[in-house]
Amino acid sequence: MKKRNYSLIIGLILTGIILIITIIGQFWTPYAVTGMDSLAKNQAPSLIHLMGTDNFGRDVFSRVMNGCGTTFFVALSTVAIGCFFGVIIGSLTGFYGGLLDEIVMRINDVLLSFPSVLLVLIFISFIGTGKYKIIIALGVMFIPSFARIVRSEVIRYKSQEFVRSAQVMGAGNLRIIFVHILPNTAVSLLTAAAIGFNNAVLAEASMSYLGLGVQPPDPSLGRMLSEAQAYIFTAPWYAIWPGVVIVLIILGFSQISEGLRAISD
């Protein structure tokens, strides 16, 4: 009997629940996301405010629901940019090799030798802060890792019999790369994308925590953590709930990546 992939099942269920709450939060929240109430500042969690309120009297649950959308949008956009350009670069260098491959891979090695957060900070210092600028910065930093993964997969498959058969039948190089080889790298790419999503969530939270990512009044889980640090002892729920949601998002995608890795193995 085939063993069930519990990691993938748990990851999909956990991520699915958070994603449903996130989608609902983009259209409806119990309270206005930016609505302030001076009479309800720093209230503890209750039936009225499930996750309590912040220092401006804003409902934390409503802001978490809406802020998850910002976090998902930044992470997905980042992974999409990194994956798109990484696939193109990795496919071409892996298939053709030669001098181009050497130059691109040495540049990759240099970029990967530095902490990604440090490179993002340098990038942001030139292009400025904001949601879309952090997406560009993180997306560019994710390209080398995707390029390296795709390159290794293409090198592994380009000498396979089905590729030689396609060449004998007259298929062009680009058709061989994008029609015959890349579909076989789907599981590896999905695994890398799940890991990259987690890294993007952490990076976005870190940048927003430092005030370099999503800017007010737009809610972001990282931004909420930054705003909550001054109230960690007087209103701990303000920091706890965004932190818990970040952990659950990362846990869900980590389980998905483990499940995909098991399928690949």
Q: For the beta carbon of residue 46, count every other beta carbon within 10 angstroms.
A: 10
Mean per-residue pLDDT, 62-70 = 90
Task: Give the percent of the chain with pLDDT over 90.
Answer: 14
pLDDT digit string, tens, across residues 250-259: 998 888 888 8
Q: For the beta carbon of residue 80, count every other beta carbon within 10 angstroms.
A: 15
Mean per-residue pLDDT, 159-167 = 80
Structure tokens at 18: 């958070």
| 22 Cβ neighbours under 8 A, 6+ residues apart | 65, 68, 69, 72
Mean per-residue pLDDT, 185-190 = 85
**CATH number of the domain within which 207 lies:** 1.10.3720.10
- 233 within a domain of the structure (yes/no): yes
Question: Mean pLDDT over all residues of the chain?
Answer: 85
- 219 within a domain of the structure (yes/no): yes
- 106 within a domain of the structure (yes/no): yes
pLDDT digit string, tens, across residues 25-60: 888 988 888 888 888 888 889 888 889 888 888 999
| 189 Cβ neighbours under 8 A, 6+ residues apart | 83, 87, 146, 149, 150
Which residue segment(s) compose the domain that 228 sits in? Answer: 73-264
pLDDT at 2: 56
Q: With the C-alpha atoms ordered 62, 65, 66, 71, is the resulting torsion angle positive or negative?
A: positive
Is 50 exceeded by the pLDDT of residue 149?
yes
Domain count of the chain?
A: 1
- 31 within a domain of the structure (yes/no): no
Nearest-5° Cα angle at 114, 109 to 117: 130
pLDDT at 188: 84
Model-level pTM?
0.85
CA 64 – CA 60 distance, rounded (Å): 6
pLDDT at 1: 44
More confident of the two residues 119 and 16 = 16
Contact 141, 116 (CB under 8 A): yes
- 244 within a domain of the structure (yes/no): yes
CA 131 – CA 120 distance, rounded (Å): 13
Phi, psi for 187 (deg, rounded to 5): -65, -45
- 49 within a domain of the structure (yes/no): no
- Crossing angle for the helix pair 186-209 and 60-96, nearest 10 degrees? 130
Contact 115, 141 (CB under 8 A): no
- 44 within a domain of the structure (yes/no): no
pLDDT at 265: 63
Is 90 exceeded by the pLDDT of residue 84?
yes
Is the peptide bond prior to 217 cis by the omega test (within 30 degrees of 0)? yes
Structure tokens at 103: 């130059």
